[in-house]
Structure 1
Amino acid sequence: MSNSLADIDTLRSFHFDRLLNEDPITHALTLLGSFPAPEGAQGRSPAIVRIEKTALLLERAGELLSQSLRDARLIESTDIYTWLFGWLESSVDAPDVKINVIHPATDVHIRKYSAQQVVIVRETPALYARIVRPYIDAFPAARTQWVENILSGTSEADKVLHRDSSPTHGHVLLPDMKWDLKTISSLYLVAIASARDVRSLRDLHGGHLGMLRSIRREAARVVRERWGLGKGALRMFVHYQPSYYHFHVHIVNVNYNGLPGMSVGQAHLLDDVIALLELGPEDGPSVFEQATLTYTLGEQHGLYAPMKAAQDELDD
């Protein structure tokens, strides 16, 4: 189905059900609807479609008004200030929107992409062992099969920017699906660890320092060689709770601001993660196994209800 979704007629077959979310910062709408079921199945199957306006191309800045502007209409004018709506000519090099599709979408996907209120929770090692770890363990392997496909090279092999096959610190580096692959100011990559036993921040210990340092070093090298971004140009961070339970590191242009996933209460800088692990022993419990972690949970998250209820057990 993924290949057929590249066809304009298939995209137009989307039936809109309801709006899941809107993001005025990124100018994006997330829609819930359906596409015809995959070949061999009857009816339609749920789909999530996120439509986001793309950034203006810097290399076309000088011609936006003189050549690209197709029409303009006055909004208001006062003294030296004028506001207008404008329409640009269509261009193969400058698409108007980026479209992300999840199909078939599960109830978990729908909850994840729905607008929701959040709450701050504290997770002690005891609460992790009693509530969070069983929650992670309950996920079927199929939920991260797409990660396995990337690691094995059976999918997205042409997108991989760096592959480290080391048994101790192996990982792959590739563009994140949220990046449009053009706008350097919003550069967004992801490094996925080869180790299957590291599912979240809680699983890290001193023995993983080699992997983490390798990700930091190779990401900086690739970005410098491909896009000319020098030292200090990247923000590398780890989410807790993550969106999927296979360890990965987010790598974005440091000037790319406004991403919800970079908020305090979810993002942990890779440099800080490395520094904290360096304080502990290479063998034995790490700081992340022993610490109380504070983070936000949306009301649609599977941990929301049990973790919120468990907060009454904690001392203020």
Structure 2
Amino acid sequence: METDLKARAEAAVPKFKLLKVLNQDQAGRRVSLHGTIDNEPAVMVVERATFPSSEVYLAGLPSSLSRLRNLGANDIYAWSMARTGPVESEVKPDGDNGHENGVDFFADLKINLIYPCTEAHVKKYSKQGVRFVTETPEIYKNHIRPFMQQKREQGRLNWVFNIIEGRTEVEDVIYRTKLGEAGDEGFLLLPDLNWDRKTLEGLHLLALVERRDIWSLRDLKKKHIPWLQHIKSKVVSATTQTYPSIEENQLKLYVHYQPTYYHFHIHIVHVALEAGATQATGKAVGLDSILETLKVMGGDDEAGMDALSMSYTLGEASELWTDIFEPLKTSGAASR
């Protein structure tokens, strides 16, 4: 009986005839379809399966791609959309298929490439334990701030400056003030490399500010409130003008702490984008929450976020853990 049911289920799937797409969620990774099988109504939910752990399969995956379309490249970073199925199986639609120039290309993979990578990249993307740490104002001043400065001086921000100064990703910029003419108000808006640039409910943009004196949210002070409010207003306006089907209250703005790189930037995502690790507590801090914190903070205009204790998660392979927090924990000085 069980064998018969399995055989019936497997035979039914190829006979599914689509009537309507009901929903897309998980940033486009799952789709719900309404259709018929043998003239009977049916609902089919299709979700991208997890990758096999077989090294034999994964070793052959890059060379087996039938198509690859680069979305952008900057310094050692590149990101592309790819197709694993045969090109011959693609069917060119009668109307616009959502791709540039109506090109007949349906991707089922998004690939981010870092080449050549560093040992730090290898550690970042390796499976590792996670710790929840508290960074006091003293730890920030004595350990984290010098760490940030060291990373900036190592040229870790060259790719960011390439974007800001218009040397790379020029065609990707959605909105920007004229370079060098807006002073502290200058910024640009472009797609995050993790967005496929097509699924609006998976929208993920970055706002990079031109000014270089703000490395992270730790540098924000009460005197920056008008500046933050202005940037927020311009970012939201630029996003909704570019994507008219999205309304202001469908956007969520946040910053990371610790950020991946030490140049102030704001993440803009669709509220329907399911929160993964990058939006979780211990990583993402809402822009509105930062503004409200600054507004109620005591002191003069120089009072700021560097006076607070910040708690967040760290991978055990990260330099912040191995070089700072683990030694502090071992020495019993984690609160200093």
Q: Same fold (TM over 0.5)?
A: yes
Task: Give 1:183 deviation, angstroms.
Answer: 0.6
Amino acid at match of 2:134: R
In structure 1, the partner of 2:171 is: 158
> 1:277: how far off?
1.6
Change over 3 Å in CA distance of 1:259–1:51 after alignment to 2: farther
- Whether contact under 8 Å (1:28, 1:51) holds in the other structure is no
Superposition RMSD in Å: 3.3
Give yes or no for contact 1:234–1:251 (8 Å, CA) kept in 2.
yes
Q: Secondary structure at the match of 1:168?
A: helix
| Deviation for aligned residue 1:27 | 6.3
> Partner of 1:146 in structure 2?
159
Q: Which runs of 5+ in 1 are unaligned?
A: 1-24, 36-46, 55-66, 69-90
Structure 1 SS opposite 2:131? strand
Structure 2 unmatched ranges of 5 or more: 1-46, 63-75, 84-91, 94-102
> Where does residue 303 of structure 2 map in the other structure?
285
- Residue of structure 2 aligned with 1:126, choices 138, 148, 154: 138
From 260, 278, 303, the counterpart of 2:320:
303
Aligned to 2:241: 225
Question: Where does residue 101 of structure 1 map in the other structure?
Answer: 113
CA distance in 1 between counterparts of 2:136 and 2:125 reads 27
1-side partners of 2:250 and 2:203: how far apart?
10
- Tell me if the contact between 2:79 and 2:193 (Cα under 8 Å) persists in the aligned partners: no
Tell me the CA shift for residue 186 of structure 1: 0.3
For normalisation by structure 2, the TM-score amounts to 0.65
- CA distance in structure 1 between the partners assigned to 2:242 and 2:50 by the alignment: 28
Deviation at 1:296, TM superposition (A): 0.6
Q: Does 1:92 align with 2:104?
A: yes
Q: Does 1:263 align with 2:280?
A: yes
Q: For 1:138 and 1:253, how far apart are their aligned partners in 2?
A: 34
Q: CA deviation at 1:187?
A: 0.5
Deviations 1:12-62 (A, max 9, x none): xxxxxxxxxxxxx98677989xx9xxxxxxxxxxx99989889xxxxxxxx
Q: Deviations over 1:92-146 (max 9, x none)?
A: 3421111111111011111112222110111111111121111111113521101
Q: Does 1:112 align with 2:155?
A: no
Q: CA 1:174–1:264 in 2, change beyond 3 Å: closer, same or farther? A: same
Corresponding residue SS for 1:137: helix
- The share of aligned pairs that are identical, in percent, is 33
Residue aligning to 2:148 = 136
Q: Is the 8 A contact 1:188 1:252 kept in 2?
A: yes
**Per-residue displacement from partner, 1:211-251 (whole Å, max 9, x unpaired)?**
32233212221222222211210111110000011111111
